[in-house]
């Protein structure tokens, strides 16, 4: 009887050991990840990618899906790329022409040194519309893409029908000292040397509850560290941060005349910047909502900063009601 019990205990230990090994293997999904040689050629996108030579220096990668009376142009956020909108395009393309771009320096688009200023990106988007012969479009921007969309409405109002601002940057006010802090913290070396653990943590921080199907963003970001155009990407990320703090829009929001839909996750960990401006996301959101003359604010519960991916059904529904 004792021998039997000892055998059972031993078997349980062996089973637990095997489970532990399996769990350990599951926790290292990037061990055999194939390095990316070039972001333009090796990144995999859910739709056919096209290229627009908007000027002599920049060729924008974009996807163009669906047809409809209204065209929606989707602009991603800092460090991101156009696949971030795939859950929205998949639904909205049934009613609208949906165009998502990789900003200069990101994804499959040209990676040349540039200022990173919000006006630079807005001017490129205006050239992009001209290339596609689109007179006016609805601009949907996430985070930094939201700030770019607002600058687009200010600098090129004739090309903007409406704005959809998803967890937008640009509603916070920063002192000159705080702007210097951003410039000091965001360095080329710092972006280049971001570890795998930090990449995972950073992306998870964008969500209230990280969806399983967001894993591709982590995988892509880790793989691209060895791409031959990665240094240019890192440079553009740094310049973009400088551009956001150097060209604030907080004091120009009352000049936006187009109808504006604003959405924030109630559990946004990035807005406000908790290190510099302790407070609640709603406190920032309501500032923007009150300053923009024709706006509607939607706060989404149990949702983080990456609203369009975490709660796509909410955003898609709100856009359908807003863009008619």
3-state secondary structure of 226: helix
Pairing of strands 160-166, 260-265: parallel
- Shared domain for 129 and 6, answered yes or no, is no
- Shared domain for 28 and 94, answered yes or no, is no
Q: How confident is the model at residue 278 (pLDDT cuts 50, 70, 90)?
A: confident
3-state secondary structure of 166: strand
Q: What pLDDT shows up at residue 31?
A: 47
How many domains would you assign to the chain?
2
Number of residues assigned to the chain:
324
pLDDT at 10 over 90: no
Q: What pLDDT shows up at residue 9?
A: 36
Give the torsion through C-alpha atoms of 314, 212, 275, 266, to 10 deg: 20
- Asked if 264 contacts 283 with a C-beta cutoff of 8 angstroms, the reply is no
Q: Please, what is the average pLDDT of the chain?
A: 91
The number of beta carbons lying within 10 Å of the beta carbon of residue 25 is 10
- Shared domain for 28 and 163, answered yes or no, is no
Q: How confident is the model at residue 67 (pLDDT cuts 50, 70, 90)?
A: very high
The number of beta carbons lying within 10 Å of the beta carbon of residue 116 is 23
Reported as a single tens digit per residue, the pLDDT across 104-127 is 999 999 998 899 999 999 999 999
Provide the CATH number for the domain around residue 239. Answer: 3.40.50.1820
- Asked if 147 contacts 125 with a C-beta cutoff of 8 angstroms, the reply is no
- Shared domain for 26 and 175, answered yes or no, is no
pLDDT at 14 over 90: no
- Shared domain for 6 and 53, answered yes or no, is no
> How far apart, in Å, are the Cα atoms of 159 and each of 73, 109, 125, 153, 305?
11, 22, 10, 8, 27
pLDDT at 24 over 50: no
**Residue 74 belongs to what H/E stretch?**
strand 71-75
- Shared domain for 5 and 111, answered yes or no, is no
Q: What pLDDT shows up at residue 34?
A: 72
Residues whose CB is less than 8 angstroms from the CB of residue 38 and which lie 6 or more positions away in sequence, other chains included: 227, 228, 229
- Shared domain for 224 and 182, answered yes or no, is yes
- Asked if 273 contacts 205 with a C-beta cutoff of 8 angstroms, the reply is no
- Shared domain for 92 and 193, answered yes or no, is yes
Residue-range definition of the domain harbouring residue 18 = 1-32
- Asked if 269 contacts 205 with a C-beta cutoff of 8 angstroms, the reply is yes
- Shared domain for 83 and 3, answered yes or no, is no
Q: How confident is the model at residue 277 (pLDDT cuts 50, 70, 90)?
A: confident
- Shared domain for 249 and 318, answered yes or no, is yes
The reported pTM is 0.89
- Shared domain for 20 and 87, answered yes or no, is no
- Shared domain for 22 and 45, answered yes or no, is no
Q: What pLDDT shows up at residue 27?
A: 38
Reported as a single tens digit per residue, the pLDDT across 190-243 is 999 999 999 999 999 999 999 999 999 999 999 999 999 999 999 999 999 999
């Amino acid at each position: 009887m004792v021998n039997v019990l000892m055998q059972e205990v031993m078997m349980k230990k062996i089973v637990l050991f095997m489970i532990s090994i399996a769990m350990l293997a599951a926790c290292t999904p990037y061990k055999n990840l194939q390095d990316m040689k070039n972001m333009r050629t090796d990144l995999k996108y859910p739709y056919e990618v096209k290229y627009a030579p908007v000027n002599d220096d920049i060729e924008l990668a974009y996807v163009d899906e669906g047809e409809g009376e209204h065209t929606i142009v989707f602009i991603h956020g800092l460090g991101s790329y156009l696949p971030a909108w795939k859950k929205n395009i998949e639904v909205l393309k049934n009613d609208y022409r949906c165009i998502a771009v990789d900003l200069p320096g990101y994804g499959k688009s040209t990676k040349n040194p540039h200022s990173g200023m919000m006006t630079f990106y807005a001017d490129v988007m205006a050239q992009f519309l001209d290339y596609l012969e689109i007179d006016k479009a609805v601009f949907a921007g996430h985070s930094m893409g939201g700030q770019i969309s607002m600058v687009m409405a200010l600098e090129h109002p004739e090309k903007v029908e409406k704005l959809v601002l998803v967890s937008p940057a640009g509603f916070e006010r920063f002192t000159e000292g705080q702007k210097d802090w951003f410039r000091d913290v965001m360095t080329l070396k710092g972006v280049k040397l971001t570890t795998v653990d930090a990449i995972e943590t950073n992306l998870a921080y964008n969500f209230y509850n990280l969806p399983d199907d967001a894993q591709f963003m982590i995988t892509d970001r880790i793989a691209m560290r060895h791409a031959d155009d990665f240094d240019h990407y890192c440079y553009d990320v740094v310049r973009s941060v400088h551009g956001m703090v150097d060209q604030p829009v907080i004091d120009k929001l009352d000049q936006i005349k187009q109808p504006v839909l604003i959405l924030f996750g109630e559990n946004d960990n990035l807005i406000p910047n908790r290190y510099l401006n302790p407070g609640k996301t709603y406190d920032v959101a309501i500032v923007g909502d009150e300053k923009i003359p024709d706006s509607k604010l939607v706060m989404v519960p149990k949702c983080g900063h990456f609203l369009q991916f975490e709660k796509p059904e909410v955003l898609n529904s709100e856009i359908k009601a807003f863009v008619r």
